[in-house]
Amino acid sequence: MALVLYRKWRPQTLSEVVGQEPVTRTLLNALATGRVAHAYLFFGPRGTGKTSTGRILAKALNCLQNETGEPCNACEMCLSFNEGRAVDLIELDAASHTGVDNIRELIEKANFMPTAAKYKVYIIDEVHMLSTSAFNALLKTLEEPPPHVIFILATTEVHKVPATITSRCQRFDLRRIPLPAMVERLQFIAQAEGIIADPEALTLIARAATGSLRDAENLLEQMVVHHGLRIETDLVRRELGLTGGSRIRELAKALLTADIPAGLALINAVAADGLDIRQFNREFVEFLRSLLLVKCGAEEMANLGAEELADIKSSISRIPLQKIARAIKLFAQADFRYAPQSTLPLELALVDYASEEGKETGLQSEPPKKPIASPPPATEPEPAEKAAPTPPIVQRIAPPPDGSPIEHIQAHWNDFIKACKGTPGQLDALLRGSCKPLAIEDETLILGFFAKSKFQKSKVEDHRYLTVLSGKLEEVFGKRYMVRCVLIGEENRPPPPPLTQSRMVKEALDHGAQIVNEEYIR
Ligand SMILES: [Zn+2]
């Protein structure tokens, strides 16, 4: 079956564009009243209709019998656009043509009148990929556009487009396509193509596409190519190996086992695939919520299939309810206001969760609870929960008069990390287990971060953290050092302490336990 569904079913009018009503309505209004801008910027996740909308706009602007705002799709001009032979529509993929020469060449041509159409329309896709000099060349034309030229810029990463460019464009934000609209479109296509699909199968496909209609159409096509025209729910579930859905489950697993490297890799893979990271987080929180509901025994509210429910039940059987609740809080509070497409809020939530987790696993040298049999302590110990937020009292660790300063810092590094508790941005969590002091050169402390702790290094290198770190070094070691971070091999990571050093293990051995196997969980 030789068809590329997303091309074949590309919308030909603005009203056919799925799930972007606010944008298409505004454009229709502008077209109907002849208020045309010279530069448009379409921003949105991949597969949400940016270039499709741009092409329809270009066609509508040049349609010979446009009365309502929509292109007629019947005149010679519309036909030339639909058949891909309109010479006055120039498309450039900035991802593969980033250089200034490409833009110069394009802009030189902009000064010539259109060959056949009223307007010469330039669509520059992934415009954020242009080089700085290419942006500057584009800016000159945007400042004084020839009257017959219209620019349509499209991007998935609007924050990388210079403000001088965006301020000269009329901007439209395309949203991820809502699930019902996507399912409806898939149903329409399936019917037209003679595909027999369970409604639930189409819903799964739409959900897996996380808001990208192109992804959904490609998935549907993949199903047809592999399995023919009959598409059943179970089949879809099995095929959806590599989509957001499975990533969400993998991230949940990495999170609940406090596997930071795996979690960070997943979050970044999602971003690299161009998925909307906020939407991914929403779905992730929604998934964690279903874990919570199952854990509470309210599984009928979780909206899960029988198979998935069984899977989830077994995977969370050993995870306490409070941990799931804490994970939900951290991820639900991920703040994207300052960086809508950044992975950082999720990375921070993950690290926050895992570093709290580290405190509970007993690998830190916190005093263990008294065994029940021991005599009552003289004073009532404060409950651990309450003690946690109080910053510890900082004790000055003065260097021995004749010792080497670096050896002194190395020897007291763990105490230093403890003293960092309560600092802004949880410096202690970033330092713990991620680095070690290597040397002092010209009053600068060289901190070596292990290869798998690149994330922590990139955080600590931020000047705000460096300032806090310098201040804390002075407070603890009595001398102000600058700090430089370097990356060192994973082999430099100190081996985990032998189990027998853990007080909890000692206690158990004293009570007659035997060690049968050692497994180190980071
Ligand atoms: Zn027309």
Kindly state whether residue 430 falls inside one of the protein's structural domains. Answer: yes
Per-residue model confidence as pLDDT tens digits over 278-301: 878 888 898 899 899 998 988 777
Q: How close is the Cα of 171 to the center of ligand 1, in Å?
A: 25
Sheet of 482-488: strand order equals 435-441, 444-450, 482-488
Element (H, E) at 111: none
Kindly state whether residue 353 falls inside one of the protein's structural domains. Answer: yes
SS3 138: helix
Q: Domain boundary residue among 150, 173, 196?
A: 173
Per-residue model confidence as pLDDT tens digits over 475-492: 888 888 889 999 888 888
pLDDT score recorded for residue 303: 60
Same domain, 156 and 31: yes
Same domain, 204 and 263: no
Q: How close is the Cα of 63 to the center of ligand 1, in Å?
A: 4
Same domain, 356 and 311: yes
Check which CATH number belongs to the domain holding 344 and give it: 1.20.272.10
Q: How close is the Cα of 30 to the center of ligand 1, in Å?
A: 17
Q: How close is the Cα of 67 to the center of ligand 1, in Å?
A: 9
Bigger pLDDT: 8 vs 81 = 81
Q: How close is the Cα of 75 to the center of ligand 1, in Å?
A: 4
Q: How close is the Cα of 17 to the center of ligand 1, in Å?
A: 17
pLDDT score recorded for residue 376: 40
Q: How far apart are CA 238 and CA 402, in angstroms?
A: 67
Kindly state whether residue 463 falls inside one of the protein's structural domains. Answer: yes
pLDDT score recorded for residue 517: 65
Q: How close is the Cα of 60 to the center of ligand 1, in Å?
A: 7
Element (H, E) at 41: strand 39-43
Q: How close is the Cα of 28 to the center of ligand 1, in Å?
A: 15
Q: How close is the Cα of 117 to the center of ligand 1, in Å?
A: 11
Percent of the chain residues past pLDDT 70, beyond the cut = 84
pLDDT score recorded for residue 54: 97
Q: How close is the Cα of 73 to the center of ligand 1, in Å?
A: 5
Q: How far apart are CA 254 and CA 356, in angstroms?
A: 15
Kindly state whether residue 512 falls inside one of the protein's structural domains. Answer: no
Q: How far is CA 136 from the centre of its chain?
A: 30
Q: How far is CA 460 from the centre of its chain?
A: 21
Q: How far apart are CA 342 and CA 278, in angstroms?
A: 9
Q: How far apart are CA 388 and CA 395, in angstroms?
A: 18
Same domain, 45 and 153: yes
Q: Which domain holds residue 282?
A: 244-360
Q: How close is the Cα of 62 to the center of ligand 1, in Å?
A: 7
Q: How close is the Cα of 34 to the center of ligand 1, in Å?
A: 16
In the chain, how many domains are there? 4
Same domain, 15 and 108: yes
**Which of the residue ranges 10-14, 296-300, 314-318 has the most confident prediction, judged by mean pLDDT?**
10-14
Kindly state whether residue 382 falls inside one of the protein's structural domains. Answer: no
Per-residue model confidence as pLDDT tens digits over 336-378: 877 767 888 999 999 988 887 766 544 433 343 333 343 444 4
pLDDT at 501 over 80: no
Check which CATH number belongs to the domain holding 87 and give it: 3.40.50.300
Kindly state whether residue 371 falls inside one of the protein's structural domains. Answer: no
Task: Determine the average pLDDT of the residues in 457-483.
Answer: 83
Q: How close is the Cα of 172 to the center of ligand 1, in Å?
A: 24
Q: How close is the Cα of 66 to the center of ligand 1, in Å?
A: 6
Task: Determine the average pLDDT of the residues in 143-147.
Answer: 90
Percent composition of the chain: helix, strand, coil (DSSP 3-state, to 5): 50, 10, 40
Kindly state whether residue 480 falls inside one of the protein's structural domains. Answer: yes
Q: How close is the Cα of 139 to the center of ligand 1, in Å?
A: 31
Q: Domain boundary residue among 173, 198, 217?
A: 173
Q: How close is the Cα of 159 to the center of ligand 1, in Å?
A: 35
pLDDT at 437 over 50: yes
Task: Tell me 94's DSSP state.
Answer: T
Q: How close is the Cα of 45 to the center of ligand 1, in Å?
A: 29
Same domain, 76 and 116: yes
Per-residue model confidence as pLDDT tens digits over 217-249: 998 998 998 889 999 887 887 676 434 567 888
Kindly state whether residue 503 falls inside one of the protein's structural domains. Answer: no
pLDDT score recorded for residue 381: 42
Check which CATH number belongs to the domain holding 188 and give it: 1.10.8.60
pLDDT score recorded for residue 372: 38
Same domain, 351 and 401: no
pLDDT score recorded for residue 369: 39
Lowest mean pLDDT, pick from 58-67, 383-392, 434-443, 470-479: 383-392
First to last CA, the chain: 50
Task: Determine the average pLDDT of the residues in 20-32.
Answer: 95
Return the ∠ at Cα 238 (arms to 232 and 241), rounded to 5°.
135
Q: How close is the Cα of 37 to the center of ligand 1, in Å?
A: 20
Same domain, 258 and 323: yes
Task: Determine the average pLDDT of the residues in 54-77.
Answer: 94
Same domain, 168 and 22: yes
Same domain, 229 and 257: no
Q: Domain boundary residue among 239, 256, 277?
A: 239
Q: How close is the Cα of 191 to the center of ligand 1, in Å?
A: 28
Same domain, 252 and 142: no
**Which of the residue ranges 21-30, 331-340, 352-361 has the most confident prediction, judged by mean pLDDT?**
21-30
Same domain, 39 and 155: yes
**Mean pLDDT, the chain, as a whole number?**
83
pLDDT at 87 over 70: yes
Per-residue model confidence as pLDDT tens digits over 365-424: 334 333 334 344 444 444 443 333 444 445 567 666 677 888 889 988 988 998 888 776
pLDDT at 306 over 70: no
